[in-house]
């Protein structure tokens, strides 16, 4: 069964529909923490893409939730706001968001992971949605032909590429079918059957590790991810939320998957 995620779950304070618009065929789940400056222009960009939006806000102290509420009133698509009491991690944000949509807003064909900071270009959503409907799983990839990280410093490029080479090398020791070039990518579209197969595995990691874990479980379930090239831009405002704990988890996870997977 899909993990039970309801408004009574201890991680969730409430989920509020912020307007009464009709559902689209796809919905985007966007975790937020201190993203007040981004949410209004992001909603405007998403409105042109004909997708609904669920924000998962982890108690942002800068008024992110209030900014979402204010802007959502003017939007042509459905916007939900899930509030959680504090920083509980990227992985649980997606599990909670996806679980809530599957339980309370059925009918979507594709659900999507996306950052709030414009590092993921909303204009790429139609291509990702189409690819997910074909393959089950579509990845906005920095590391296939045509993908790029145009404004990253060298240290970040080396860290990101190294993490992907490392994950592929470790998992490839046993699972030759794991051929994802950008396993740590966070711009991902899921067809519902692929997403449900992954959620049944109850992913429990966060950050980079969550991205590797979910793509790995999709591969084990028989899906072959389709990677589409994207230009991944650095965030316009604020600073990266990558921590040492996130990096350590990503270092350990491939070995855990290597020995624990059937």
In a domain, 239, yes or no: yes
CATH code for the domain of 217: 3.90.550.10
Strand partners, 110: 26, 191
How does pLDDT run across 44-63, given as a tens digit for each residue?
999 999 999 999 999 999 99
In a domain, 186, yes or no: yes
What is the enclosing helix (H) or strand (E) of 191? strand 188-191
In a domain, 209, yes or no: yes
Q: Residue 245: what pLDDT?
A: 73
User: Which of the four pLDDT bands, split at 50, 70 and 90, describes residue 237?
Assistant: low
Coil, helix or strand at residue 96: helix
User: Which of the four pLDDT bands, split at 50, 70 and 90, describes residue 4?
Assistant: very low
Domain range enclosing 40: 14-260
Task: Evaluate if residue 43 carries a pLDDT over 60.
Answer: yes
Report, as an integer, the average pLDDT of 174-200.
95
In a domain, 2, yes or no: no
Radius of gyration of the chain (CA): 17
Total domains in the chain come to 1
Residues near 236 by beta carbon (within 8 Å), at least 6 away in sequence: 37, 38, 117, 118
Joined together, the tokens standing for residue 255 give 């070995």
In a domain, 7, yes or no: no
Measured between alpha carbons, how far is 7 from 20 in angstroms, rounded to an integer?
A: 19
Measured between alpha carbons, how far is 51 from 62 in angstroms, rounded to an integer?
A: 26
Average pLDDT along the chain: 90
Query: Are the C-beta atoms of residues 12 and 213 closer than 8 Å to each other?
Result: no
User: Which of the four pLDDT bands, split at 50, 70 and 90, describes residue 178?
Assistant: very high
How does pLDDT run across 66-123, given as a tens digit for each residue?
999 999 998 999 999 999 999 999 999 999 999 999 999 989 999 999 999 999 999 9
Q: Residue 235: what pLDDT?
A: 63
In a domain, 8, yes or no: no
Task: Evaluate if residue 5 carries a pLDDT over 50.
Answer: no
In a domain, 108, yes or no: yes
Query: Are the C-beta atoms of residues 249 and 208 closer than 8 Å to each other?
Result: yes
In a domain, 226, yes or no: yes
Nearest to 180 by CA among 143, 134, 220, 209: 143
- Higher-confidence residue of 227 and 207: namely 227
Q: Residue 236: what pLDDT?
A: 59
Task: Evaluate if residue 156 carries a pLDDT over 70.
Answer: yes
Q: Residue 10: what pLDDT?
A: 72
Helix axes 207-220, 90-104, angle to 10 degrees: 50
pTM for this entry: 0.91
What is the enclosing helix (H) or strand (E) of 169? helix 154-171
Coil, helix or strand at residue 113: strand
């Amino acid at each position: 069964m899909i993990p039970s995620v309801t408004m009574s779950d201890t991680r969730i304070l409430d989920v509020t529909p912020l307007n009464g618009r009709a559902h689209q065929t796809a919905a985007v789940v966007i975790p937020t923490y201190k993203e007040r400056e981004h949410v209004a222009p992001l909603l405007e960009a998403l409105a042109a893409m004909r997708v609904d939006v669920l924000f998962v806000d982890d108690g942002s102290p800068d008024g992110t939730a209030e900014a979402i509420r204010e802007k959502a009133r003017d939007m042509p698509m459905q916007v939900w706001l899930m509030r959680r009491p504090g920083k509980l991690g990227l992985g649980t944000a997606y599990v909670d968001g996806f679980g809530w949509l599957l339980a309370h807003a059925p009918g979507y064909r594709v659900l999507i992971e996306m950052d709030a900071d414009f590092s993921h270009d909303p204009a790429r959503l139609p291509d990702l949605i189409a690819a997910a409907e074909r393959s089950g799983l579509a990845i906005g990839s920095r590391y296939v032909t045509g993908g790029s990280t145009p404004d990253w410093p060298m240290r970040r490029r080396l860290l990101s590429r190294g993490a992907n080479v490392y994950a592929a090398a470790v998992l490839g020791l046993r699972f030759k079918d794991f051929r994802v070039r950008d396993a740590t990518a966070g711009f991902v579209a899921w067809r519902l059957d692929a997403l449900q197969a992954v959620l049944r595995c109850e992913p429990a990691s966060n950050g980079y590790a969550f991205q590797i874990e979910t793509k790995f479980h999709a591969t084990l379930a028989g899906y072959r991810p389709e990677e589409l090239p994207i230009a991944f831009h650095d965030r316009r405002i604020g600073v990266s939320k990558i921590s040492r704990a996130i990096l350590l988890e990503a270092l350990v996870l491939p070995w855990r998957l290597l020995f624990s997977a059937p």
